[in-house]
Structure 1
Amino acid sequence: MKRTVGGSLMLGLALLTGCTMQTPTDLAVHEALFYGGNQQRVVWVYGTLTGGSDSSVKLGDKVATLRPQLTGDALGLAGTLSVDAKATYSGTTSPTDRRVSVTRVGNQYSIQALGNVESVFATDGGGTWYRLSGPVTAGQTVLATASTNTALRGAGDLTNAEADALGAELKGQGALAVAVLPGTTLPDAPLKVEPALEAGRHPVTGLYVQSGIVQVASAGPVTPIIPPVGSAPAQPAGSVGRQLAGGSNATASEFQVIVAQNASVLSTLWNTAYGRQTSAPALPSLSAGRSVVGVFLGQRPTGGYSLSLASARISGGVLELTVNVSAPGQGSITTQSLTSPWIATEITGSFSSVVVRDAVTGLVLN
């Protein structure tokens, strides 16, 4: 043990002083950074050992010993080297905010992007993987039809072998969704590698894992919507929506959009809106070609916050909701209790995604 530690310290000193160390040829490092339900950094080191001898490389602040790849480890891929007697180098990643919320609705998936994502995949937990969508912008909700996919192939910069290996590792964790995150939004930087790598030989793929996918039933028989008691302001001419209801005491702690096109999802929306009240208006019903979209601002520290619909339009399959967001002015007397503003809007027409904008600033809410 003393000999091993001493050798590592000497090698680390050699690195710091710029001395030459033995490294494999064709060196490359591939990283997969997991967030959400998994917080792990998985790092493959590719290369060829010279003369069959061991080699070394510095990953982050650690000098690692590279040897021929292990046998019998699913992560030990062709062309890779073992790192400190393990198939890959591993570490933990930083906590991050929720990036996506995926719900299965009948044979489709509702994807609510809470941050920009490049693509979304899902598995049923039994070994079958699906690709749900390409890029989804923060604030959008997309209704997607799943297409069968080979593990996580096509996710970020993963090679097919890496995608297959990670898909197999996630197989036993039940139904889950995996969103590919843009590299510029990752909480963690790539590992610093010494000797420095050539351009293109250090790809990094960020993956947000949503553990568990809630499934709701498909829509049953439909009847016309009956608005709850309490009329909302009339909407401008040409608007495809009208506000059905609103309030300030929802159960939502974060910003979210719920698109209800069947009774089951509408019940979820209603429970989110009225879950803190002892009673709620009767649940509306849906007619063909209509849906109800709930917009929830999330938790606010005091009273005085409110939300109302300014307009709704559909263009190119995108539903754009423009909303009025009110906040208490400086020095205002407000209730000193947590609030959660929301509105529910009836929409006529078909759409595949939703964008919510502030009527004053024009900025997308998320």
Structure 2
Amino acid sequence: MRAAALIVGALLLSACATFARQGEPIDFSTVDRGTHSGIEQAGCCVIQTNEQFAALWAELYRTRHPEPPMPVVDFDHEVVVAVFQGRQPSGGYAVEVQAVRRIGRRAVVHVAQTVPEPGDMVTMALTAPYHVVRFTRPESGVIFCGSPAGQGGEPAF
């Protein structure tokens, strides 16, 4: 079982490396990024409606008051993608959407994670890193490479 998991992981990494060299870049912009979200589980999600975005926004800021105003997104033409690293025991952790590329009719979102090395000087506070971006709606879905919780696009909240 463990060998099978290693093989699947290696194949996914190989596929992500292939995706990184293919397709055309898609411009994206950061909606928000930080280290303290209300979402404590690692994951990723694709937001396609105002209702989904409002639910994400409320969960993202449930630990902050006042909640900042939610940006206006034209979901007829754009999607919002969010990645979460989950609750971490200290500072020094980060998650970032590094690139979005169009391959065929899909968008491939490349995610990078930062983890502190043993002995690094970090804050001793719980963190929950996240990155939320928006880009032009792809014709046929979104694929995540290097995401905190696998290749899916299921809501993490």
Both structures adopt the same fold (TM-score exceeding 0.5): yes
Match of 2:26 in 1: 239
Match of 1:315 in 2: 103
Name the aligned partner's letter for residue 337 of structure 1. A
TM-score, with structure 1 as normaliser: 0.32
Preserved CA contact (<8 Å) 2:26 2:135 = no
SS in 2 for 1:242: strand
Q: How many Å separate the matches in 2 of 1:337 and 1:266?
A: 28
Q: Residue 38 of structure 2: which of 251, 269, 289 is its match?
A: 251
SS in 1 for 2:123: coil
Q: How many Å separate the matches in 1 of 2:51 and 2:137?
A: 20
Match of 2:17 in 1: none
Pair 280,268 (structure 1): closer, same or farther in 2 beyond 3 Å: same
Pair 351,325 (structure 1): closer, same or farther in 2 beyond 3 Å: farther
Q: How many Å separate the matches in 2 of 1:329 and 1:278?
A: 33
- Which residues of structure 1 form unaligned runs of 5+? 1-136, 138-236
Preserved CA contact (<8 Å) 1:252 1:340 = yes
Q: How many Å separate the matches in 1 of 2:26 and 2:138?
A: 14
Superposed, which structure 2 residues align to 1:54-93 within 5 Å?
A: none
Preserved CA contact (<8 Å) 1:321 1:355 = yes
TM-score, with structure 2 as normaliser: 0.69
Match of 2:20 in 1: none
Superposed, which structure 2 residues align to 1:187-206 within 5 Å?
A: none
Q: Specify the structure having the higher radius of gyration (Cα).
A: 1
Match of 2:120 in 1: 332
Q: How many Å separate the matches in 2 of 1:312 and 1:365?
A: 18
Q: Residue 264 of structure 1: which of 45, 51, 56 is its match?
A: 51
SS in 1 for 2:25: coil
Greater relative contact order (Cα < 8 A, sep 6+):
2
TM-superposed CA distance for 1:252, in Å, is 2.0
Match of 1:273 in 2: 60
Preserved CA contact (<8 Å) 1:308 1:323 = yes
Preserved CA contact (<8 Å) 1:317 1:352 = yes
Q: How many Å separate the matches in 1 of 2:90 and 2:61?
A: 18
Which is further off, 338-347 or 242-251? 242-251
1:296 pairs with 2:84: yes
